[in-house]
């Protein structure tokens, strides 16, 4: 079986190289049969990697401990679902998972475009297969998941494996890595289309229209992956945080920021023929940041709970990144004449300028996170001493940037295209502006003195009102014209332009998440030594240990506390935090208990218990408004899904050049 898996990967690597050569040669020599054979090679690569993946998963499920990967990341007592997730739980398996997802994307792209974009599709295929070939090179020759255990040059097997890392044995980890990988790998597709378009100097914006939906889908996957990672950290690591500016957390945020900038600026190219250089740079940067994030996770150069062990694989990523950066930089610089804008910015107070400022701030935040992440490596290289920048450094820098981005989210819809009149500004800004000032004044009167929290709550209300005004005005007009109720008019309005109003819902999701982030300014924490039956207190909650239990299961040994939480003399929840010690890996972890409420979470971590079972050490936290982060994430997902639905009335923006200025007339079909 291991020989079949290794052979499948080797054949897939060979076919990916063939697809590169055949695609480019077929395009240059105008030989359609070569292009067709390259596309069929893409399907074969998918089939072979699928076979290799199936063999690895089967080995994990059946406990074939002759394989080193299975012995390191699985064991007999491991629940079945975690045996499957062990596929991406280690270095070699996760690289195979990366290759498999890319193979799936590549096969779908080739199939859906088999009769479209024939002029530059060979280059798209070649780019995707180049990336595929790099990862298959690692799979086949550097980090093979089919390597056998050997002792004295003889193949051997262990009775049982080391098991999956305890912090990965959580249900969100069955979803978080696949979502993140679908985002990471998916950005290869718009990158490939951008490169193909640049190489062939495609007239018009064909690659933009083709990849917009791809970009939005992969951005959605990346958003879900980042949010699920935050939820995992919140519920598993035991310290109550959902974001700690860990290097690998930052690596997942970087392509999300650049992709968000791309999704905004691409609208400018579609509607105004502007920001073409921006879009080429952003789509290439997003892909490169995805590779960089994969490198950070696997090279071991950064200390992180997310990273794999130190390995020699980092050098391959550095080489690939260097070649990719040099190639894309040369291509963009060589095609600057092709990327000229069709129109110019006419006014600073316009919707165009709001898109530009939005992109600048997103890129500034991306650079700040990148600098803070790489600073330990840079400092060690320059001075020989590794200096890490901690969470307070990131917070001092990123909180003001985030608040400015939040403000631009509300301001953008209030500006008109080309230029905005003073009367329009007064009319649009008055209601949300006065309401926000009133809220800040009320919070000050109530005793709130945290500066950033006041600004954040004010901006959240401002943005929420601007979004509501957009929906209200549009729905009221539809209701009056079509003689239907307001609720039905809202649905009709959204269906008529799903991209616009779905985008507004995404912005509302961001607002709700910012409300949750702002609640962190009011967090409370106490470590309580609770004698069984005696109460302890945090905030308005009285905590009492009702029982302390312990047990021994197949997979882990556990210690369990049963705690009653009371508020104003009434029991509001019974929480059961747990401490676990996993037998196979010889590692411990916490299983926290959380009482979720819309206004706050009561969060308990069972730190330890006395030997006689009479006392427990409980780390107790109160996290105000944290539930709004998850509500906002769901709203963001809903808005993105709506934006992906085709609009009932299709808008085409016809660009007509008149005296150096492009005017845009919406054409309805």
* Whole-angstrom distance, CA of residue 402 vs CA of residue 422: 27
Alpha carbon separation from 354 to 132, 222, 659 (Å, rounded): 38, 24, 24
Alpha carbon separation from 522 to 335, 515, 602 (Å, rounded): 51, 12, 13
Q: Which residues pair with 666 in a beta bridge?
A: 653
In which residue are the tokens 């819309």 written? 598
Q: What is the mean pLDDT of residues 12-27?
A: 96
DSSP type of residue 148: B
DSSP type of residue 239: S
In which residue are the tokens 């006041």 written? 454
The answer, yes or no, to whether residue 330 has pLDDT greater than 90, is: yes
The answer, yes or no, to whether residue 257 has pLDDT greater than 80, is: yes
* Res 302: pLDDT: 64
Q: Which two tokens stand for residue 26?
A: 């077929």
In this predicted structure, which of 63-72, 151-160, 653-662 has the lowest mean pLDDT?
Answer: 653-662
* Whole-angstrom distance, CA of residue 60 vs CA of residue 5: 13
**Do 93 and 69 contact (CB within 8 A), yes or no?**
yes
In this predicted structure, which of 127-131, 154-158, 337-341, 454-458 has the lowest mean pLDDT?
Answer: 154-158
Q: What is the mean pLDDT of residues 199-213?
A: 78
Q: What is the mean pLDDT of residues 603-621?
A: 86
DSSP type of residue 67: B
* Whole-angstrom distance, CA of residue 321 vs CA of residue 284: 12
The winner for highest mean pLDDT among 32-36, 148-152, 413-417, 657-661 is: 32-36
* Whole-angstrom distance, CA of residue 117 vs CA of residue 99: 25
Question: 425 or 538: whose pLDDT is higher?
Answer: 538
Strand pairing class (535-538; 570-575):
unpaired
Confidence class for position 152, pLDDT limits 50, 70, 90: low
Count of other CB atoms within 10 angstroms of residue 92: 24
Q: What is the mean pLDDT of residues 58-76?
A: 92
* Whole-angstrom distance, CA of residue 75 vs CA of residue 61: 9
pLDDT mean across residues, the chain: 87
**Do 593 and 234 contact (CB within 8 A), yes or no?**
no
In which residue are the tokens 């502006």 written? 433
Q: What is the mean pLDDT of residues 527-534?
A: 87
The answer, yes or no, to whether residue 654 has pLDDT greater than 60, is: no
* Res 345: pLDDT: 65
* Whole-angstrom distance, CA of residue 462 vs CA of residue 464: 6
Q: Which two tokens stand for residue 573?
A: 């929840």
Q: Choose among 213, 7, 188: nearest CA to 107.
A: 188
* Whole-angstrom distance, CA of residue 123 vs CA of residue 25: 10
Confidence class for position 668, pLDDT limits 50, 70, 90: very low
* Res 377: pLDDT: 80
Q: Which two tokens stand for residue 580?
A: 């676990």
* Whole-angstrom distance, CA of residue 262 vs CA of residue 509: 19
Please report, to the nearest 10 degrees, the dihedral formed by the alpha carbons of residues 636, 641, 645, 647 taken in order: -10
* Res 289: pLDDT: 94
Confidence class for position 303, pLDDT limits 50, 70, 90: low
Confidence class for position 659, pLDDT limits 50, 70, 90: very low
Q: Which residues contact 77 (CB under 8 A, 6 or more apart)?
A: 163, 553, 554, 555, 583, 584
Question: 305 or 387: whose pLDDT is higher?
Answer: 387
* Whole-angstrom distance, CA of residue 537 vs CA of residue 563: 12
Q: What number of residues does the chain have? A: 669
Encode pLDDT of 620-646 as tens digits. Answer: 999 999 999 999 999 999 999 999 998
* Res 90: pLDDT: 87
DSSP type of residue 102: H
Q: Choose among 366, 409, 128: nearest CA to 256.
A: 366
Q: Which residues contact 250 (CB under 8 A, 6 or more apart)?
A: 369, 370, 372, 373
Q: Which residues pair with 526 in a beta bridge?
A: 620
Q: Choose among 105, 129, 104: nearest CA to 37.
A: 129
* Res 505: pLDDT: 95
* Res 656: pLDDT: 37
Q: Which two tokens stand for residue 395?
A: 């917070």
Q: Choose among 524, 548, 520, 535: nearest CA to 611.
A: 548
Domain ranges of the chain: 1-163, 165-343+350-389, 398-521+639-668, 523-624
* Res 657: pLDDT: 37
* Res 306: pLDDT: 54
The answer, yes or no, to whether residue 305 has pLDDT greater than 60, is: no
Q: Which two tokens stand for residue 249?
A: 């957390």
* Res 663: pLDDT: 36
How many angstroms separate the first and last alpha carbons of the chain?
Answer: 56
Q: What is the mean pLDDT of residues 567-574?
A: 91
Count of other CB atoms within 10 angstroms of residue 574: 12
* Whole-angstrom distance, CA of residue 112 vs CA of residue 657: 33
* Res 667: pLDDT: 37
Encode pLDDT of 468-508 as tens digits. Answer: 988 998 999 999 988 899 999 999 999 998 988 999 999 99
* Res 182: pLDDT: 94
In which residue are the tokens 């400015």 written? 404
Count of other CB atoms within 10 angstroms of residue 237: 18
Question: 405 or 150: whose pLDDT is higher?
Answer: 405
**Do 296 and 247 contact (CB within 8 A), yes or no?**
yes
Domain 1-163: state its class: mainly alpha
The answer, yes or no, to whether residue 301 has pLDDT greater than 80, is: no
Q: Which residues pair with 148 in a beta bridge?
A: 67
Alpha carbon separation from 587 to 159, 300, 399, 518 (Å, rounded): 19, 20, 36, 34
Count of other CB atoms within 10 angstroms of residue 617: 15
Instruction: Give φ, ψ of 305 to 5 degrees.
Output: -70, -15
Sign, CA torsion 405/408/410/412: negative
**Do 376 and 387 contact (CB within 8 A), yes or no?**
yes
**Do 433 and 427 contact (CB within 8 A), yes or no?**
no
Instruction: Report percent pLDDT > 70 for the chain.
Output: 91
Burial (CB < 10 A; 0-12, 13-18, 19+), residue 69, is buried
Q: Which residues pair with 596 in a beta bridge?
A: 601
The answer, yes or no, to whether residue 409 has pLDDT greater than 80, is: yes
* Res 652: pLDDT: 45
Instruction: Tell me the pTM.
Output: 0.90
The answer, yes or no, to whether residue 661 has pLDDT greater than 60, is: no
Q: Choose among 590, 92, 581, 84: nearest CA to 309.
A: 92
Angle at 280 between CA 39 and CA 210, to 5 degrees: 45
Question: 575 or 427: whose pLDDT is higher?
Answer: 575
Question: What is the per-residue burial (b if ≥16 Cβ within 10 Å, else e) of 119-146?
Answer: ebbbbbbbbbbbbbbbbbbbbbeebbbb
The answer, yes or no, to whether residue 664 has pLDDT greater than 60, is: no
Cα-only R_g, the chain: 27
Q: What is the mean pLDDT of residues 363-379?
A: 89
Q: What is the mean pLDDT of residues 570-575?
A: 93
Q: Which two tokens stand for residue 3?
A: 């020989």
* Whole-angstrom distance, CA of residue 642 vs CA of residue 96: 33
């Amino acid at each position: 079986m291991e020989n079949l898996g290794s052979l499948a990967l080797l054949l897939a690597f060979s076919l990916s190289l063939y697809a590169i050569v055949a695609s480019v040669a077929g395009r240059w020599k105008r030989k359609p049969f070569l292009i067709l054979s390259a596309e069929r090679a893409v399907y074969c690569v998918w089939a072979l990697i699928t076979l290799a993946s199936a063999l690895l998963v089967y080995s994990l499920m059946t406990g074939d401990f002759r394989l080193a990967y299975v012995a390191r990341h699985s064991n007999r007592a491991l629940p079945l679902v975690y045996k499957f997730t062990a596929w991406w739980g280690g270095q070699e398996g996760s690289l195979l998972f990366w290759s498999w997802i890319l193979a799936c994307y590549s096969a779908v792209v080739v199939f859906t475009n088999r009769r479209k974009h024939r002029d530059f599709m060979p280059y798209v295929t070649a780019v995707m297969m180049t990336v595929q070939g790099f990862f298959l090179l690692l799979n086949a020759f550097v980090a093979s998941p089919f390597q056998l255990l050997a002792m004295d040059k003889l193949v051997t097997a262990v009775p049982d494996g080391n098991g999956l890392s305890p912090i990965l044995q959580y249900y969100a980890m069955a979803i978080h890595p696949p979502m993140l990988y679908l985002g990471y790998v998916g950005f290869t597709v718009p990158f490939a289309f951008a490169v193909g378009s640049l190489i062939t100097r495609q007239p018009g914006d064909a690659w933009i229209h083709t990849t917009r939906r791809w970009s939005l889908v992969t951005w959605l996957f990346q958003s879900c992956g980042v949010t699920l990672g935050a939820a995992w950290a919140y519920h598993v690591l035991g310290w109550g945080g959902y974001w700690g500016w860990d290097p690998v957390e930052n690596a997942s945020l970087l392509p999300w920021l650049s992709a968000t900038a791309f999704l905004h600026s691409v609208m400018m190219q579609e509607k105004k023929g502007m920001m073409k250089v921006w879009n080429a740079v952003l789509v290439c940067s997003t892909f490169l940041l995805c590779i960089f994030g994969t490198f950070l996770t696997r090279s071991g150069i950064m200390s992180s709970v997310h990273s794999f062990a130190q390995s020699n694989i980092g050098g391959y990523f550095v080489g690939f990144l260097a070649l990719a950066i040099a190639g894309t930089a040369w291509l963009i610089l060589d095609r600057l004449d092709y990327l000229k804008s069709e129109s110019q910015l006419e006014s600073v107070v316009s919707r165009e300028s709001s898109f530009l400022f939005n992109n600048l701030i997103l890129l500034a935040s991306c650079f700040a996170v990148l600098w803070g992440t790489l600073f330990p490596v840079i400092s060690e290289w320059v001075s020989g001493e590794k200096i890490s920048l901690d969470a307070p450094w990131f917070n001092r820098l990123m909180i003001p940037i985030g608040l400015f981005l939040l403000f631009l989210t509300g301001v953008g819809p209030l500006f008109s295209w080309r230029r905005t009149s003073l009367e329009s500004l007064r009319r649009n800004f008055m209601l949300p502006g006065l309401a926000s000032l009133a809220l800040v004044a009320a919070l000050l009167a109530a005793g709130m003195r945290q500066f950033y929290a006041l600004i954040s709550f004010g901006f959240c209300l401002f943005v929420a009102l601007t979004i509501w005004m957009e929906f209200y005005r549009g729905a009221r007009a539809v209701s009056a014209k079509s003689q239907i109720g307001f609720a039905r008019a809202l649905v009709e309005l959204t269906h008529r332009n799903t991209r616009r109003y779905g985008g507004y819902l995404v912005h509302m999701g961001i607002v709700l998440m910012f409300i949750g982030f702002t609640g962190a300014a009011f967090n409370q924490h106490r470590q309580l030594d609770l004698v069984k039956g005696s109460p302890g207190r945090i905030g308005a909650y009285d905590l009492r240990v009702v029982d302390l239990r312990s047990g021994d299961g197949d997979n882990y040994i556990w210690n369990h506390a049963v705690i009653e939480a009371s508020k104003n003399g009434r029991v509001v929840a019974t929480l059961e935090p747990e401490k676990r010690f996993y037998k196979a890996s010889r590692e411990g972890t916490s299983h926290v208990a959380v009482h979720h409420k819309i206004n706050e979470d009561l969060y308990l971590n069972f730190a330890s218990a006395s030997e006689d079972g009479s006392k427990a050490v409980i780390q107790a936290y109160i996290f105000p408004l944290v539930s709004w982060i998850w509500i906002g994430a769901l709203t963001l997902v809903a808005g993105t899904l709506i934006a992906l639905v085709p609009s009932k009335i299709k808008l085409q923006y016809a660009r007509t050049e008149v005296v150096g200025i492009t005017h845009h007339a919406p054409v309805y079909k």
